Amino acid sequence: MASHTIILAVLWLVIAPMGWARKLAVKDPEAELEREALQKHRLDSINLLIFIFLLVCTVLTVWLFKHRRFRFLHETGLAMIYGMIVGAIIKYSGRRVNKYAYSIEEEMNQTFAPEILWLKYTTTNDSTPARIFSYELQGIIHDPSSEIQIELEEKATFDPEVFFNILLPPIIFHAGYCIKRKHFFRNLGAILMFAFIGTTISCIVVGFIVYGFVQLMPWSTFSLKDCLYFGALISATDPVSVLAIFFDLHVDVDMYALVFGESVMNDAVAIVLAATIDNYRASEFDVEALFTAVGSFLGIFFGSFLIGGLMGCINALLTKFTKIRDFPILETVLFCLLSYSTFLIAESFGLTGIVAMLFCGMTQAHYTYNNLSDESKKRTKELFELLNFLSENFIFSYMGVAMFTFQSHQWHIDFIAAAFLAVGVARVCNIYPLSFLLNLGRKNKISFNFQHMLVFAGLRGAIAFALAIRNTETAGRQTMLTTTLMIVIVTIVVCGGGTTQMLTWLKIRVGVEDDDTTGQNVFQELGTVRIGNEEDERLLDVDQDPNAARAIRRAKKKEQAWLVSRWYNFDHNYVKPVLTNRGADLSQTLPGCCSAVARCLTRKEESTMPRRGSDSEIILDDELSYGEMPTIIGGGSTDDITPNITPNPHDQDPASDGDLGLGDHEMSPRSQFKGVTPGSSQV
């Protein structure tokens, strides 16, 4: 009997799945629904599995490339190529399942199709009772003949909102959080110019060139607005692969800062531009509508900027005034939750979550990061690095797959050619004239070779794709998506692959350690647009004499961009001391009447920060803060750090501010190169 049991049991190990299938043959509506859900769930699993398999392949190949020091193909390019291979397999091997679509004609006296449809159906061979099924509106069918799809192919198409709501936020946040802020702010003028003016130029130039060409294309239904929308979305550059190579080769820091800064900021500008153009309703040119558009642009941009900044400040205050740093995991969780909520808040207000995320990342890096415990500093950086890597490669894999599986590609070679031409011309019209203008005011000129490199670094990537796939309702938008995909793939493969060669041709310095290695003289040489005066602040902190420092600052003001330096002073004197335990002493910078407030803010600070001035903290902070040098004298390696902190508690204040007035030294470049990750290039 027992052996009988075992045999039966073993048999059923094999047959059980069949039992399931048998059970599913019953045509009970509920069982049928269940079967459908099960089927859908399996397909979903297989679909996700395909992408994970792609990512695993990418990771392994990337490792091999890194191991063998191949630089001609970046991981994102690789992910895309693998994606294309798998996409082709899915497309040409998929079994065609004719999905049954039942057509009903109905005359209604309402202007729009109902959101929910209840179908009460009775079968002709009447045994089952009438049942009501609920249907939800999915979209408009433009071409009834093309809508019968291959099941897996259809599955491999994600909801485009996934890109905007889940995949892009960590990428953008990471860019803001891990920005090399010192170099970024030093080139802030140039970066803002390229981002705001440059992106607008690019958008307009692309728009008009494409509009000119589509006049010659009989098939096209593009309006000028459509062309400008395409101009906006294709103006978002994404040179991850170039930046990764720059990082690997330790290319000139200013070159790096320009390319990185431009790409980060112009994403934000391009997204808002695209939203603005999309909302532009006037059919003809109209001054009022133009002002509306400009106002809407500014409103969305600065609204998002404010929300991002505000959430960063809230997080800074929370981490400063609670002892949550004693529980690093709670701190990290809080940090992640507040950062993601920034995105959601901006979206809830109808603003742009991605832009808010970028500025939230920057604020978090500038303020909150200083309040975090050492463990949370590491954890947050590593976490966002990981998420950035995963999201980025997922998007690029998806682009490769979508090249084949996207259902409504519109291949118009003429349009694609025009777009390539327009993109190239727009890049040229953006970089060279603006560089010329910038060079008029910069001491540290942008050389012609740098300019050529900037033009070359105009790769297109994730943001352009996400914007293009967001709306593919009309044939025009479908053409845009196809064209964007082509541009992304070609620029990534050609420009990404040719970066090393280009650097050689243009004789751009590689293997450069941070400028600061050579000491303060380099500082003096650097252009007029740079943030604050680190030297001055240092003197200020050590002497604790605001008057003398102010005098020095005044004397040097000519060298600085007025707005930037103003902001830096304000930040150092008021914002930083309130939000973090750094910056100036509040009791000295605030007017006398506010001394109670100042004391309150400072007292709190002292009780919550028992570990200030510990060496590890200083080193870590240096990785993510500008104008704050570590306190270690000499010692080129992190292994033999002996912090030179005077025991006097008053002197510790500037020490924890990262500086004892000892200027730059060998430590800083190393830690800077180690800790700050551009894109996912630290991999």
CA distance 625 to 370: 9
Residue 330 within binding range of its own copies, rule CB under 8 A: yes
DSSP, res 512: P
The contact pattern for its own copies, residues 55-94, with x = CB under 8 A and - = no contact, is: xx--xx-xx--xx---------------------------
- What Rg value do the Cα atoms of the chain yield, rounded? 29
Residue 229 within binding range of its own copies, rule CB under 8 A: no
CA distance 328 to 217: 60
Residue 542 within binding range of its own copies, rule CB under 8 A: no
**C-beta closer to its own copies: residue 144 or 591:** 144
From the list 2, 13, 413, 440, which residue makes contact with its own copies (rule: CB under 8 A)? 13
Site for its own copies in 360-379 (CB under 8 A): 379
Q: Could you give the 3-state DSSP secondary structure of residue 239?
A: coil
DSSP, res 214: H
**C-beta closer to its own copies: residue 107 or 284:** 107
Work out the number of other CB atoms within 10 angstroms of the CB of residue 52.
12
Q: Could you give the 3-state DSSP secondary structure of residue 237?
A: strand
| C-beta separation of 407 from 170 below 8 A | no
From the list 162, 224, 310, 333, which residue makes contact with its own copies (rule: CB under 8 A)? 333
**C-beta closer to its own copies: residue 131 or 566:** 131
CA distance 617 to 630: 9
CA distance 87 to 50: 10
Stretch of residues binding its own copies (CB under 8 A), selected from 28-36, 493-501, 618-626, 664-672: 28-36
| C-beta separation of 175 from 242 below 8 A | no
Helix axes of 253-279 and 287-321: crossing angle, nearest 10 degrees = 120
CA distance 153 to 318: 47
Residue 440 within binding range of its own copies, rule CB under 8 A: no
**Measured CA angle at 76 (ends 74, 79), to 5 deg:** 110
Site for its own copies in 624-683 (CB under 8 A): 680, 682-683
Query: Whole-number minimum distance, CB 148 to its own copies, in Å?
Result: 10
Query: Whole-number minimum distance, CB 63 to its own copies, in Å?
Result: 5
From the list 262, 267, 385, 659, which residue makes contact with its own copies (rule: CB under 8 A)? 385
**C-beta closer to its own copies: residue 347 or 653:** 347
Stretch of residues binding its own copies (CB under 8 A), selected from 168-176, 293-301, 517-525, 580-588: 293-301
From the list 1, 3, 115, 285, which residue makes contact with its own copies (rule: CB under 8 A)? 115
Work out the number of other CB atoms within 10 angstroms of the CB of residue 140.
8
From the list 3, 93, 122, 145, which residue makes contact with its own copies (rule: CB under 8 A)? 122
- Full 3-state SS string of 267-311: HHHHHHHHHHHHHCCCCCCCHHHHHHHHHHHHHHHHHHHHHHHHH
From the list 3, 92, 95, 132, which residue makes contact with its own copies (rule: CB under 8 A)? 132
From the list 89, 146, 223, 323, which residue makes contact with its own copies (rule: CB under 8 A)? 323
Residue 332 within binding range of its own copies, rule CB under 8 A: yes
**C-beta closer to its own copies: residue 27 or 650:** 27
The contact pattern for its own copies, residues 390-409, with x = CB under 8 A and - = no contact, is: x-------------------
Residue 473 within binding range of its own copies, rule CB under 8 A: yes
Stretch of residues binding its own copies (CB under 8 A), selected from 325-333, 408-416, 460-468, 654-662: 325-333
Query: What is the size of the binding site for its own copies (CB under 8 A)?
Result: 127
Residue type at 502?
M
| C-beta separation of 87 from 404 below 8 A | yes
From the list 179, 205, 268, 338, which residue makes contact with its own copies (rule: CB under 8 A)? 338
User: Token pair of 358, please?
Assistant: 């970028």
DSSP, res 648: -
Q: Identify the burial level of 523 via C-beta atoms within 10 angstroms of its C-beta, where 0-12 means exposed, 13-18 middle and 19 or more buried.
A: middle
Query: Whole-number minimum distance, CB 538 to its own copies, in Å?
Result: 33
Query: Whole-number minimum distance, CB 411 to its own copies, in Å?
Result: 23
Stretch of residues binding its own copies (CB under 8 A), selected from 102-110, 209-217, 568-576, 608-616: 102-110
Query: Whole-number minimum distance, CB 232 to its own copies, in Å?
Result: 17
**C-beta closer to its own copies: residue 406 or 568:** 406
From the list 70, 89, 96, 137, which residue makes contact with its own copies (rule: CB under 8 A)? 137
CA distance 85 to 96: 19
**C-beta closer to its own copies: residue 224 or 333:** 333
Residue type at 145?
S
Chain position carrying tokens 């695993």: 56
Residue 327 within binding range of its own copies, rule CB under 8 A: yes
CA distance 503 to 506: 5
Closest Cα partner for 308 from 357, 267, 235?
357
| C-beta separation of 658 from 622 below 8 A | yes
Residue 386 within binding range of its own copies, rule CB under 8 A: yes
Q: Could you give the 3-state DSSP secondary structure of residue 395?
A: helix
User: Token pair of 511, please?
Assistant: 């293997």
Query: Whole-number minimum distance, CB 312 to its own copies, in Å?
Result: 15
From the list 1, 2, 116, 216, which residue makes contact with its own copies (rule: CB under 8 A)? 116
**C-beta closer to its own copies: residue 75 or 628:** 75
Work out the number of other CB atoms within 10 angstroms of the CB of residue 69.
7
From the list 1, 2, 5, 216, which residue makes contact with its own copies (rule: CB under 8 A)? 5
Query: Whole-number minimum distance, CB 642 to its own copies, in Å?
Result: 17
CA distance 595 to 513: 44
**Measured CA angle at 631 (ends 625, 633), to 5 deg:** 130
**C-beta closer to its own copies: residue 66 or 557:** 66
User: Token pair of 290, please?
Assistant: 């133009």
Query: Whole-number minimum distance, CB 293 to its own copies, in Å?
Result: 9
**C-beta closer to its own copies: residue 121 or 219:** 121
Residue 616 within binding range of its own copies, rule CB under 8 A: no
Residues forming beta bridges with residue 489, ordered by sequence position:
none
User: Token pair of 34, please?
Assistant: 């269940």
Q: Could you give the 3-state DSSP secondary structure of residue 66?
A: helix
DSSP, res 84: H
Stretch of residues binding its own copies (CB under 8 A), selected from 341-349, 439-447, 509-517, 654-662: 341-349
Query: Whole-number minimum distance, CB 474 to its own copies, in Å?
Result: 8
Stretch of residues binding its own copies (CB under 8 A), selected from 386-394, 610-618, 640-648, 667-675: 386-394
